[in-house]
């Protein structure tokens, strides 16, 4: 499958994520959510015709009198209830309004932005009959750093993150609240400040926005990045402690890691897949070394690194034990807390 295209945005230094049919990586979602990259909907005419065809199929079904879930019928257990034609235009607003019952803390700006990004990616596949204008507005909101205030409690994701995603749909129509530069403001006011008019959602659009697992997927992306950062920090701290207490660096020698060539072992030990990285032969200052630099540390790091591979884009170095110890040995890293502060920031 094609990967998402990245190109330099015109007149700006940030990267650009073009959303359409291509796959998107975790680090791309995070880059947009953090404001490090912009997001745009694919403008390719062939792709846009696909989106138009999806919307046309829905409208054709409605014209032919076919039952359409969430448009001419109720939702969930109310699916057997027919919605009168005169009331169908009211359903998009009613649907998002009666799901506005979330509670708990509000998601942070990065988390909420990630939710919007993941929802755009899902809708952009073209199977939800959502107009391009709606997806472009979602991209525009992320670019302007206008994100919905989403309570973190209210969904188990069993049939979609209906309640939390209703706050995203509400922002589009100018209802509830938005988070702008750390300030909570009424959604309509946030749109007015940006010179944007509230959208009028057409049949099926609010359901399409709400009925997905974009909240849990977005939070998983954020959690993955945090776990990867903690894994780097754990390796760094292990190396620092080993050095500080005159531990035995031979516990991290390539021979041990090669005996159990798990992916996480290779990453934590600083080896390439062929085990070609030399660890060095500095004799230990302690005959056996303390518990912290024993094979137990290798086992823990192996498990974490296997589950959390280093795929998150991050320019920082010093992410494996052997590499950090080599840097200490060569004098390239002073023996103080500077490295800890860098990794923990």
Residue 136 has pLDDT above 90, yes or no: yes
The question of whether 335 is a catalytic residue gets the answer no
In this predicted structure, what is the pLDDT of residue 128? 93
Residue found under tokens 């530069």: 181
Confidence of residue 331 (pLDDT cuts 50, 70, 90): low
> Both 247 and 184 in a single domain?
no
Please give the biggest Cα pair distance in the chain.
84
> Both 267 and 314 in a single domain?
yes
> Both 91 and 231 in a single domain?
no
Say which of 47, 69, 167, 328 is annotated catalytic.
69
Residue found under tokens 């909570």: 184
Average pLDDT over residues 118-141: 96
Residue 157 has pLDDT above 80, yes or no: no
> Both 118 and 242 in a single domain?
no
Q: Please state, in angstroms and rounded to a whole number, the distance separating the CA atoms of residues 129 and 59.
A: 9
Average pLDDT over residues 58-69: 93
Would 219 be classed as within a structural domain?
A: no
Residue 282 has pLDDT above 80, yes or no: no
| Higher-scoring residue by pLDDT: 155, 195 | 195
In terms of average pLDDT, the best of 145-154, 251-260, 265-274 is 145-154
Would 221 be classed as within a structural domain?
A: no
Q: Please state, in angstroms and rounded to a whole number, the distance separating the CA atoms of residues 168 and 189.
A: 15
> Both 111 and 201 in a single domain?
yes
Would 217 be classed as within a structural domain?
A: no
The reported pTM is 0.78
- CATH number for the domain harbouring residue 148: 1.10.275.10
| Higher-scoring residue by pLDDT: 287, 227 | 227
Average pLDDT over residues 298-327: 51
Which stretches of the chain are assigned E, i.e. beta strand?
6-8, 15-19, 37-41, 103-106, 146-148, 151-153, 177-180, 183-186
Task: Please give the residue range of the domain that contains residue 121.
Answer: 6-212
> Both 90 and 192 in a single domain?
yes
> Both 176 and 323 in a single domain?
no
Would 98 be classed as within a structural domain?
A: yes
> Both 168 and 242 in a single domain?
no
DSSP state, 320?
A: S
Burial class of residue 114 (count of CB atoms within 10 Å of its CB; 0-12, 13-18, 19+):
buried
Residue 106 has pLDDT above 90, yes or no: yes
> Both 185 and 78 in a single domain?
yes
Report how many domains make up the chain: 2
Report strand pairing: 15-19 vs 177-180.
unpaired
DSSP state, 84?
A: P
- Nearest in space to 69 (alpha carbons), one of 82, 53, 55: 82
Q: Please state, in angstroms and rounded to a whole number, the distance separating the CA atoms of residues 52 and 41.
A: 14
**Residue 264 neighbours by CB under 8 Å, 6+ apart:** 301, 302, 303, 304, 305, 306, 307, 309
Average pLDDT over residues 319-343: 49
Residue 94 has pLDDT above 60, yes or no: yes
> Both 251 and 105 in a single domain?
no
In terms of average pLDDT, the best of 74-88, 146-160, 208-222, 259-273 is 208-222
Would 192 be classed as within a structural domain?
A: yes
CA torsion 298-302-304-307 (nearest 10°) is 180
Would 309 be classed as within a structural domain?
A: yes
In this predicted structure, what is the pLDDT of residue 301? 57
Q: Please state, in angstroms and rounded to a whole number, the distance separating the CA atoms of residues 61 and 74.
A: 17
- Nearest in space to 204 (alpha carbons), one of 50, 56, 45, 47: 56
């Amino acid at each position: 499958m094609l990967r998402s295209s990245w190109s330099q945005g015109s007149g700006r230094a940030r990267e650009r994520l073009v959303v359409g049919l291509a796959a998107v990586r975790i680090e791309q979602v995070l880059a947009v959510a953090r404001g490090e990259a912009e997001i745009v909907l694919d403008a390719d005419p062939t792709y846009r015709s696909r989106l138009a065809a999806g919307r046309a199929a829905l409208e054709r079904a409605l014209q032919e009198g076919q039952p359409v879930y969430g448009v001419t019928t109720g939702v969930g257990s109310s699916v057997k209830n027919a919605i009168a034609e005169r009331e169908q235009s009211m359903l998009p607003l009613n649907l998002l309004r009666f799901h506005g019952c979330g509670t708990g803390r509000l998601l942070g700006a990065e988390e909420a932005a990630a939710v919007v990004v993941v929802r755009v990616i899902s809708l952009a596949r073209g199977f939800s009959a959502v107009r391009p204008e709606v997806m472009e507005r979602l991209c525009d909101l992320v670019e302007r750093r206008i994100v919905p205030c989403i309570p973190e409690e209210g969904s188990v994701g069993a049939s979609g993150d209906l309640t939390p995603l209703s706050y995203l749909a509400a922002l589009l129509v100018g209802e509830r609240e938005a988070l702008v530069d750390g300030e909570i403001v009424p959604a309509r006011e946030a749109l007015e400040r940006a010179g944007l008019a509230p959208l009028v959602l057409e049949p099926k659009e609010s359901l399409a926005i709400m009925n997905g697992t974009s909240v849990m997927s977005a939070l998983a992306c954020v959690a993955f990045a945090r776990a990867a950062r903690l894994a780097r920090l754990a390796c760094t701290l292990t190396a620092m402690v080993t050095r500080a207490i005159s531990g035995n660096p031979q516990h991290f020698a390539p021979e041990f890691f090669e005996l159990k060539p798990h992916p996480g072992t290779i990453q934590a030990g600083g080896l390439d897949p062929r085990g070609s990285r030399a660890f060095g032969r500095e004799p230990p200052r302690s005959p056996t070394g303390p518990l912290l630099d024993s094979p137990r540390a290798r086992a823990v790091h192996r498990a974490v690194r296997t589950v959390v591979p280093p795929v998150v884009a991050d320019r920082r170095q010093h992410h494996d034990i052997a590499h950090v110890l080599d840097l200490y040995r060569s004098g390239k890293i002073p023996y103080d807390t500077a490295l800890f502060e860098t990794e923990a920031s």
